[in-house]
């Protein structure tokens, strides 16, 4: 039995392509910000640092973190790798593989997720503890399996389903805490704990159109741990 059929491989390759496109777009944005706001030596220095960090991330395939997440509409559990970059590491791109138990269906499922996170503010609570009061971003999630589709099959009337059953666009907002390890010889530099409140395009439209739905019917909670790798 082929565990990775052609459709699964195509979905994986499409997400890898999308990841590199995201890195490239982020690099362009930061470079433009450096040009726009680099009117004095201080802002020019910041813009230059952003540009250098992003260029380094764009060509460095070695991840800067590993992460594990519970829930989040990308699987009961998911795990993956992340790339942190930008000035003070405020940008993060994560790639995760999720597991959905079969529940009342005939089989379990796998998901792929590409997530872009932005954490603009940091509060240093202690020498080893920092706090991001805001983390926000967007992620794309696809469920692998021939029963899901990007484009509505011909057997259905035109516009019968207005949303793809394979691809979900999600937005989220949350917070995180980071603990920096003291040991200089450790492979990991620190541990980050985070939570996110999230909703998808489908849930958001359903919540607006159906007033009887409660807040927790279209808003979900995700909990995660991120292990940050020490850079040499």
Predicted local confidence at residue 29, as pLDDT: 46
- What stretches in the chain show pLDDT beneath 50? 1-5, 7-9, 12, 23, 26-27, 29-31, 33-40, 43
Task: Give the domain ranges of the chain.
Answer: 62-229
Token representation of residue 211? 């007033």
Q: Give the tens place of pLDDT for each residue, 93-138.
A: 999 999 999 888 888 999 999 999 999 999 999 999 999 999 999 9
pTM of the model: 0.71
C-alpha angle 112-118-119 in degrees, rounded to nearest 5: 130
Q: Is 89 left (phi over 0), alpha (psi -120 to 50) or beta?
A: left
- Residue 97: half-sphere exposure toward Cβ, Cα within 13 Å: 8
Predicted local confidence at residue 195, as pLDDT: 98
Dihedral of alpha carbons 153, 102, 224, 185, sign: negative
The CATH architecture to which 62-229 belongs is Beta Barrel (2.40)
Backbone angles phi, psi at 42, to 5 degrees: -65, -50
């Amino acid at each position: 039995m082929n565990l990775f059929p052609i459709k699964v491989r195509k979905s994986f390759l499409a997400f890898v392509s999308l990841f590199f496109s995201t890195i490239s777009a982020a690099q362009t944005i930061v470079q433009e910000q450096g040009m726009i706001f680099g009117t004095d030596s201080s802002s020019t220095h910041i813009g230059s640092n952003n540009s250098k960090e992003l260029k380094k991330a764009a060509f460095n395939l070695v991840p800067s973190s590993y992460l594990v997440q519970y829930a989040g509409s990308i699987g009961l559990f998911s795990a993956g790798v992340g790339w942190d970059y930008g000035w003070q590491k405020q940008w993060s791109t994560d790639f995760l593989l999720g597991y959905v138990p079969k529940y009342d269906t005939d089989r379990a499922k796998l998901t792929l997720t590409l997530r872009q996170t932005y954490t603009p503010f940091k509060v240093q609570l202690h020498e080893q503890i920092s706090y991001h009061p805001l983390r926000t971003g967007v992620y794309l999630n696809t469920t692998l399996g021939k029963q899901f589709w990007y484009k509505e099959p011909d057997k259905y009337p035109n516009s019968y389903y207005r949303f793809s059953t394979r691809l979900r666009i999600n937005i989220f907002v949350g917070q995180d805490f980071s603990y920096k390890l003291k040991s200089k010889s450790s492979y990991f530099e620190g541990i980050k704990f985070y939570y996110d409140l999230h909703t998808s395009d489908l849930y958001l439209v359903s919540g607006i159109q159906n007033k009887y739905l409660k807040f927790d019917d279209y808003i979900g909670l995700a909990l995660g741990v991120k292990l940050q790798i020490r850079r040499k």
